[in-house]
């Protein structure tokens, strides 16, 4: 019968090893995983209204042009029929007055 404490100790060592690796190495692995899964990500600085995208996101949108750096520019990429419902979801989530 396997010793559960031994398995727990092994898992604990593996978890510590993951956190001891340099952040840059872990970020590189994450980027590779996102690329393999064809997943794009973005970060929105709400206070400054600045969007930053992962390299995959640009590829997914299929454009060589830079993606918009503000939310209004991003909404311009959304199909007109879907634009307003998505804008309303963002506003409801943030509980802010309407974006201009």
The per-residue pLDDT for range 37-82, each reduced to its tens digit, is: 999 899 999 999 999 988 888 888 887 788 999 999 999 989 999 9
CATH 3.30.450.20 fits 39-100, yes or no: yes
Q: How far apart are CA 89 and CA 99, in angstroms?
A: 12
| Cβ atoms < 10 Å from Cβ of 53 | 19
Segments making up each domain of the chain, as ranges = 1-37, 39-100
Q: What pTM was estimated for this model as a whole?
A: 0.58
φ/ψ of 56, rounded to 5, equals -60, -35
For position 14, what pLDDT does the model report? 63
In 1-100, alpha helices (H): 4-20, 23-37, 55-61, 71-76, 80-94
């Amino acid at each position: 019968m396997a010793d559960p404490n031994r398995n727990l100790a092994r898992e604990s060592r593996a978890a510590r090893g993951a956190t001891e690796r340099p952040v840059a190495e872990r970020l590189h692995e994450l980027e590779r995983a996102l690329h393999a899964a064809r997943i794009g990500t973005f970060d929105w600085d709400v206070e400054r209204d600045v969007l930053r995208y992962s390299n995959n996101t640009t590829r997914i949108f299929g454009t060589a042009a830079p993606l918009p750096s503000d939310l209004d520019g991003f909404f311009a990429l959304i199909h007109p029929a879907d634009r307003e419902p998505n804008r309303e979801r963002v506003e409801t989530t943030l509980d802010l007055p309407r974006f201009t």
